[in-house]
Amino acid sequence: VHNTYLILWLNNGIVGLIAFAFGLVTAFVKASKNSYLAFPVLFAALFQANFEPWLAASLNPYTIVFFFLIPLLLIGDFNRIPLSASHEEDNKVKRIHE
The pLDDT mean for the chain works out to 83
pLDDT at 97: 52
pLDDT at 83 over 70: no
- Residue 87 pLDDT greater than 60, yes or no: no
Of 18, 87, 6, whose CA–CA distance to 95 is shortest?
Answer: 87
User: What are the Cα distances from residue 86, in Å, to 37, 69, 76, 90, 93?
Assistant: 19, 25, 17, 6, 11
Split at pLDDT 50, 70, 90, the class of 1 is confident
Check the CA dihedral 49-52-53-56 and report its sign: negative
pLDDT in tens, 35-50: 888 899 999 999 999 9
Measured distance between the N- and C-terminal CA atoms of the chain, rounded to whole angstroms:
62
Given a cut of 90, whether residue 95 has pLDDT beyond it is no
Look at residues 81, 79, 82, 83 and name the one whose alpha carbon lies nearest to residue 38: 79
